[in-house]
């Protein structure tokens, strides 16, 4: 069953049940009130009758009964065995009518010729001094008529009320279902065409349906953006891997053609193959790291002495490269960070500084009230202003460095940016072409997040 039909059926049925229950209640309350009114009148009449009977002396009591006869009904006097002593009636055929009496109730409602009949019994002293029972019967013709009229009115009201209720439930179903149907159609169109289709949502819409539409469109936008990024990454990666593979292939061919006879050619070929293989291995390792970085890397934050951590990072750099790695600044600076990830980030910046400069590399630690910053400065060629916005893009390399054999992959700074984001740190660049470059990591001293 469709959701629209379910909403429609449920709300209509619910309203029908509520209306029926209310109207049934109204009907029975009215019936009870009408019976009670009739009872009071009949009782007063019977009390008057009893009073008159007590005054009767020598007169025929049947005549008194006649005077107090209900307009449509009967009056009877029954002896202790239930046998009729005297009776007066205005209704034909009532003479033999024996009503069913509820002894515990103040009045009984029975039926005579399909008309409700009210019966009350009361003990009285008869003219001969014996205790007898006075029975008054009244046919409730007016009440029956009024009740039938009431029932028709209530039925009519129920039916008339059901028209707007049904219409509103259909309207409600439409309001709720229309956006869902739009969503389903858009999703199936997206699946068929492979496009990231969006739905039309009123910009100023504030209700949940509009919210759902906006969320869906945002999600589609994000999926499209991620897909494009992924596509770009794959095409960049395959393009970047093609170059070293082509170099390896051509040197291998050269080696197989002439290398075994010419030692110089063989050495050049093996050197080139080795160099390109190492570059490919590095690139693959970095690509893997980037891919893994996307799957929620775990950061373990702890209170860290930044000076000690930078010194520990510089040590192996000094060992590996014959270059001056200078460390300056506050030795006591402490921040809450992930030391391993921060070292990894520093290695990338220090390695770049080394690759793209010839002179010493200076690392400076400074702090403010809220942050500790580490600046890695080199005195190399610097980075042109226009290249800075793309610097953190995967595979991006400044044009001259692409042509120069610095052994880079263009992935280092993309990884550095992801690490900095994970560390909730800021990564800033200051560079002057021909003078040098400073990469600055700004780490907040305190972290609210400890693991994400
Ligand atoms: P790569 O593997 O090429 O070094 P990166 O992502 O680390 O990749 O850097 C991207 C580009 O940014 C580099 O190719 C280089 O052109 C430029 N770059 C990065 N660091 C420096 C620096 N300290 N000095 C000059 N240029 C730099």
Stretch 152-179: mean pLDDT? 90
Stretch 231-250: mean pLDDT? 81
Q: How far apart are CA 299 and CA 133, in angstroms?
A: 99
Question: For residue 161, what are the CA distances in angstroms to 1, 18, 22, 88?
Answer: 26, 11, 13, 49
| Predicted pLDDT of residue 59 | 67
Return the ligand 1 atom nearest residue 348 CA.
7
Stretch 274-291: mean pLDDT? 82
Q: Give 452's Cβ-side CA count (13 Å radius).
A: 10
Mutate to test the pocket of ligand 1, among 412, 418, 429, 432 (most ligand atoms within 8 A of CB): 412
Helix (H) or strand (E) holding 449: none
Report the predicted TM-score, pTM, of the whole model to 2 decimal places: 0.53
Ligand 1 site, residue 378, Cβ cutoff 6 A: yes
Supply the mean pLDDT for the chain: 88
Decide which of 3.30.420.40, 1.10.287.130, 3.20.20.190, 3.30.70.1350 is the CATH code for 208-292.
1.10.287.130
Architecture of domain 299-444: 2-Layer Sandwich (3.30)
What is the torsional sign of CA 145, 146, 147, 153? positive
Q: How far does residue 346's CA lie from ligand 1's centre (Å)?
A: 14
pLDDT higher than threshold 60 for residue 113? yes
pLDDT higher than threshold 60 for residue 130? yes
Architecture of domain 3-150: 2-Layer Sandwich (3.30)
Residues of the chain with CATH 1.10.287.130: 208-292
Return the ligand 1 atom nearest residue 357 CA.
24
Stretch 127-152: mean pLDDT? 92
pLDDT higher than threshold 50 for residue 87? yes
Q: Which two tokens stand for residue 144?
A: 């029956």
Stretch 129-146: mean pLDDT? 92
Q: How far does residue 429's CA lie from ligand 1's centre (Å)?
A: 11
| Predicted pLDDT of residue 129 | 82
Ligand 1 site, residue 437, Cβ cutoff 6 A: yes
Residues of the chain with CATH 3.30.450: 3-150
Query: Given pLDDT bands bounded at 50, 70 and 90, which one contains residue 451?
Result: very low
Q: How far does residue 425's CA lie from ligand 1's centre (Å)?
A: 20
| Predicted pLDDT of residue 450 | 44
pLDDT higher than threshold 90 for residue 182? no
Mutate to test the pocket of ligand 1, among 408, 415, 427, 441 (most ligand atoms within 8 A of CB): 408
Pick the residue with more confidence: 128 or 389?
Answer: 389
Q: What's the DSSP call for residue 126?
A: -
**Of the given ranges (65-74, 304-313, 347-356), which has the lowest mean pLDDT?**
65-74
| Predicted pLDDT of residue 282 | 80
């Amino acid at each position: 069953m469709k959701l629209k039909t379910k909403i429609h059926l449920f709300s209509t049925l619910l309203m029908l049940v509520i209306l029926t229950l209310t109207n049934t209640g109204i009907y029975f309350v009215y019936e009870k009130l009408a019976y009670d009114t009739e009872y009071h009148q009949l009782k007063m009449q019977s009390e008057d009758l009893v009073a008159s009977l007590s005054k009767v002396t020598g007169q025929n009591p049947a005549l008194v009964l006649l005077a107090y006869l209900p307009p449509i009904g009967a009056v009877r006097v029954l002896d202790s065995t239930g046998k009729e002593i005297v009776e007066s009636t205005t209704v034909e055929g009532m003479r033999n009518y024996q009503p069913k009496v509820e002894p515990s109730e103040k009045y009984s409602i029975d039926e005579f010729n399909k008309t409700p009949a009210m019966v009350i019994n009361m003990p009285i002293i008869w003219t001969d001094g014996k205790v007898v029972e006075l029975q008054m019967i009244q046919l409730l013709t007016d009440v029956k008529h009024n009740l039938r009229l009431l029932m028709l009115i209530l039925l009519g009201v129920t039916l008339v009320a059901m028209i707007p209720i049904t219409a509103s439930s259909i309207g409600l179903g439409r309001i709720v279902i229309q956006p869902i149907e739009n969503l389903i159609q858009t999703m199936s169109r997206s699946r068929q065409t492979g496009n990231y289709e969006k739905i039309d949502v009123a910009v100023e819409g504030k209700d949940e349906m509009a919210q759902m539409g906006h969320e869906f469109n945002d999600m589609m936008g994000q999926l499209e953006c991620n897909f494009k990024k992924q596509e770009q990454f794959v095409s960049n990666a395959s393009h970047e891997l093609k170059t070293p593979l082509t170099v390896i292939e051509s040197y291998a061919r050269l080696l197989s053609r002439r290398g075994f006879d010419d030692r110089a050619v063989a050495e050049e070929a093996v050197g080139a193959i080795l160099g390109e293989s190492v570059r490919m291995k590095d690139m693959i390792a970095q690509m893997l790291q980037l891919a893994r970085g996307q799957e929620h890397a775990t950061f373990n934050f702890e209170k860290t002495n930044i000076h000690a951590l930078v010194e520990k990072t510089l040590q192996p750099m000094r060992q590996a490269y014959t270059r001056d790695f200078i460390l300056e600044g506050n030795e006591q600076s402490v921040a809450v960070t992930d030391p391993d990830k921060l070292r990894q980030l520093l290695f990338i910046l220090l390695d770049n500084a080394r690759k793209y400069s010839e002179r010493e590399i200076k690392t400076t630690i400074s702090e403010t009230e809220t942050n500790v910053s580490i600046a890695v400065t080199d005195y190399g060629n610097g980075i042109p202003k226009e290249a800075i916005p793309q610097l953190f893009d995967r595979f991006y390399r400044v044009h001259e460095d692409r042509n120069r054999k610095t052994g880079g992959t263009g992935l280092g700074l993309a990884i550095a940016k992801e690490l900095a984001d994970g560390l909730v740190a800021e990564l800033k660049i200051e560079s002057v072409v021909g003078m040098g470059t400073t990469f600055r990591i700004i780490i907040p001293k305190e972290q609210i997040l400890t693991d994400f």
